[in-house]
Amino acid sequence: MNKPFAITLNVGSSLANKTGTWRTFRPTYIKRLPPCNNACPAGEDTQGWLYHAESGDYETAWRHLTQANPMPAVMGRVCYHPCEGACNRGQLDSAVGINSVERFLGDEAIKQGWKFEAPSKETGKRILVVGAGPSGLSAAYQLRRMGHQVVIFEAGPLAGGMMRFGIPKYRLPREVLDSEVQRIIDMGVEMRLNTKVEDLLKTMKDEKFDAAFLAVGAHIAKRTAIPAAESAKILDAVAVLRSMEGEDKPMLGRRVVVYGGGNTAIDVARTAKRLGAEEAIIVYRRTRDKMPAHDFEVEEALQEGVMMRWLSTIKHVGEGAIQVEKMELDENGKPVPTGEFDTLEADSVVLALGQDVDLGLLNGVPDLTFQDGVVQVGDNMMTGYAGIFAGGDMVPSDRTVTVGIGHGKLAARHIDAWLNGTTYVKPAKPELANFEKLNTWYYTDADKTVRPMLDIIRRQSTFDEVQGGLNEDNALFEARRCLSCGNCFECDNCYGVCPDNAVIKLGPGKGFEFNYDYCKGCGVCVEECPCGAIKMESEQT
């Protein structure tokens, strides 16, 4: 008892007092699904690759991105970026320019010569991919990564599909497309150009393919019966855009009328303008807001001097002029004829009314189902015939490059599982990190970086790329505008704001842990987490 006066106990630490027993609610770290990832038709982990780009580690970001999509330089130009439409930052100031950062990473990869790694093992399985468009290339890339032998049969003279023969150069420079295709071939994918598959089952048998993925696209222009003079010049959009890739450019004349309201119609009108047409007029039977074309493309076309004739149908095509009938919308928004007619001068008319699929290669394959001119596939992307899978524009879906990339990836996973005699099960989606889950107080105000646009004169006369890219400085800034929705980005807020010092910081890249011995369950960490990566749950009794 060598203690001072009136002292009977040794000094102790409050660590003896396990305040965690007070808790009725328990915080836990979780990963929620960011809206951008949720919206991506190609299934990219957008938030995940932006995280690496934020620290300037572009190669890791690119490698993370290309797990889902092997062509970021292409997609950073042609994707309609539904991710940006879903981005939570859009509710704060403006959406993160995900598409422009993707393009920056893609261009950086081309500049630095980054290559895909060869597969670590060979499975010995041979897979036939028909069509070297986005879907076929994506499937080939994914299957090769899994160690399968892949041969692509492409009917055309060059790879790329609609990326080459449908999307004009001013949106997608061909050297960009070529380098991203080449990188896939360099993984050991065999590409046979000018090789059309006439009899699928025979080809598979002759060359001992274990499975096939079909992605032949939709290249046959839809026609419509319009009364026309014999000398009238009527072309179709697919042929016009395709011939842009050849030696002989299409002869469209000084006044070009394009009939249709989709993105292809816009592409043709803008191409006509660049070929020297004085007037390029789009005739569409409904109104601008009803157009299937994306609004920014309509806007860009208008800037370049393309004219629009809304609520009109073509009644007759004569020599040097066409007759259009004015339409009006009924109460259901459907266009109905008014009986009023007008004459437009036109040297040629280009029909852009949609495309059909050439299903010739499937002749003689049993057990297939067709509907609306496309092949039906199951959730596993397999047709009715075991071992034959299909994707892209030839199956029911939205016809975009991004959807095609997504189909290729998904089909590859199912093909791999099917070859192994198993079934690929998609992992369950975590709950969505919507705007309400965020504490946006913590984010700095920072407006979106706008990509530079080519000046209008050059847009009207050349096929130079219209939209510029970001440089390293503003790409980094743009990446750092990411709110990291639903996923911890190590801002240390939980570690700092805990009144009980009950959050353990594990160090860079390792995140945090709760010390449940002392956590009283006050919930301040949950409330102050900027990105919604902590969840409060009732304690089990």
Residues that bind another protein (CB under 8 A): 9-19, 22, 54-55, 441-444, 446, 477, 480-484, 489-493, 495-502, 505, 507-508, 515, 517-518, 520-524, 526-528, 530, 536
Whether 133 contacts 160, CB under 8 Å: yes
Least distance in Å: CB of 474 to another protein? 11
Secondary structure E strands in 79-148: 126-130
What is residue 144's three-state secondary structure? helix
Rounded to a whole number of angstroms, the minimum distance from the CB of residue 536 to another protein is 8
| Cα torsion 198, 200, 203, 209: sign | positive
- Name the amino acid, one letter, at 504: I
For 413, other C-beta atoms within 10 Å of its C-beta total: 19
Residue 358: which of 160, 137, 242, 197 has the closest Cα?
Answer: 197
**Residues linked to residue 321 through DSSP beta bridges, in sequence order:** 345
Q: Contact at 8 Å (CB) between 325 and 340? A: yes
Return the structure tokens found at 54: 């934020």
**The dihedral sign for the CA sequence 459, 293, 401, 85:** positive
The residue among 432 and 491 lying less far from another protein, judged by its C-beta, is: 491
Contacts of 112 (CB under 8 A, 6+ apart): 59
Shortest distance in whole angstroms from residue 28 CB to another protein: 15
Q: Which of 116, 97, 112, 120 is nearest to 57 (CA)?
A: 112
Which is nearer to another protein, 185 or 536 (by Cβ)?
536
Distance CA 458, CA 466 (A): 9
Alpha helices in 146-236 (DSSP H): 162-165, 174-185, 200-206
Q: Between residues 401 and 482, which has the closer beta carbon with respect to another protein?
A: 482
Q: Considering the complex, state which of residue 88 and residue 348 has its C-beta at the smaller distance from another protein.
A: 88
Q: How many Å apart are CA 235 and CA 393, to the nearest integer? A: 22
**Least distance to another protein, CB of residue 510, Å:** 11
* Cβ 496 to another protein shortest distance, Å: 3
- Minimum distance, C-beta of residue 529 to another protein, in the bound complex (Å): 10
- Smallest gap from residue 453 Cβ to another protein (A): 25
Q: What's the min distance (Å) between Cβ of 432 and another protein?
A: 21
22 or 296: CB nearest another protein: 22
